[in-house]
Amino acid sequence: MRRPLLGSIVVLVIIMVLGGIIPVNGAVAITIQDHGLAKKVVYTQNGHLAVFNRTSTFTQDDAEAFAFVKATFYSANLTWNWYDPTGELVQVGGWTANCVTSPCDEENSLPISGGWAERLGLWRVDFLADGTLIFSDYFSVMPIITQYNYWNFNVIQSSPPRVHGFLEVTLHPNNLTWRYYRIYMPYATNVTAYEASTNHPLHVTAFNDSRVVIDFGAPRSDGYMFILTFDLTYGLDSLGSGSFALTWRQYTWERFDDVHLVPERFSVSLPQGAAFLDVVGYNAMALSYTAGNSSGVIVDFARNETYQPFGWTVLYRDLSVASASNPGVGSLVSIMLPVLPLTLSDLSVWSAVMSVLMLTASELASPLYARSSSRFLLNRRRLRIVALLLVALFMVTTAYRLIATPALVR
Q: What pLDDT sits at residue 5?
A: 47
Q: Note the pLDDT of residue 155.
A: 93
Peptide bond into 271 cis (omega under 30): no
Q: What is the pLDDT of residue 56?
A: 94
pLDDT in the model for residue 368? 55
Regions in the chain scoring below 70 on pLDDT: 1-28, 175, 209, 252-259, 283-289, 292-308, 322-348, 350-351, 358-359, 362-380, 400-410
Angle, in degrees to the nearest 10, between helices 344-364 and 380-409 = 150
The CA-atom distances, in angstroms, between 295 and each of 265, 292, 318 are 19, 8, 15
Q: Give 42-82 pLDDT, tens digit per residue.
A: 988 777 889 999 999 999 889 999 999 999 898 899 999 99
The dihedral formed by the CA atoms of 401, 405, 406 and 410, expressed in degrees to the nearest 10: 150
Distance CA 196, CA 172 (A): 15
Question: Which domains are delineated in the chain?
Answer: 17-142 (2.60.40.1930), 147-320 (2.60.40.1730), 326-409 (no CATH)
pLDDT at 43: 87
252 contacts: CB under 8 Å, gap ≥ 6: 258, 305, 307, 308, 309
Nearest to 315 by CA among 290, 271, 280, 291: 280
Contact 56, 43 (CB under 8 A): no
- The number of angstroms, rounded, from the C-alpha of 50 to the middle of its chain's C-alpha atoms is 45
DSSP category for residue 297: -
For 110-145, the pLDDT digits (tens) are: 999 878 887 888 999 999 999 999 999 999 998 888
Which residue type occupies 154?
N
What pLDDT is recorded for position 335? 52
Greatest alpha-carbon span in the chain: 149
At 85, which helix (H) or strand (E)?
Answer: none
* 312 burial level (CB within 10 Å; 0-12, 13-18, 19+): buried
- Predicted local confidence at residue 46, as pLDDT: 79
- Those residues whose C-beta lies under 8 Å from the C-beta of residue 164, and which sit 6 or more positions away, are 153, 154, 156, 229, 230, 231, 232
Select from 67, 88, 75 the least CA-distant residue to 136: 67
Provide the Cα torsion 235, 236, 240, 241; round to 10°: 160
Running DSSP on this structure, what letter comes out for residue 336?
A: B
Peptide bond between residue 103 and the one before it cis (omega within 30 degrees of 0)? yes
Question: What per-residue confidence (pLDDT) applies to 7?
Answer: 52
Cα 301 to Cα 311: distance, rounded to the nearest angstrom: 12
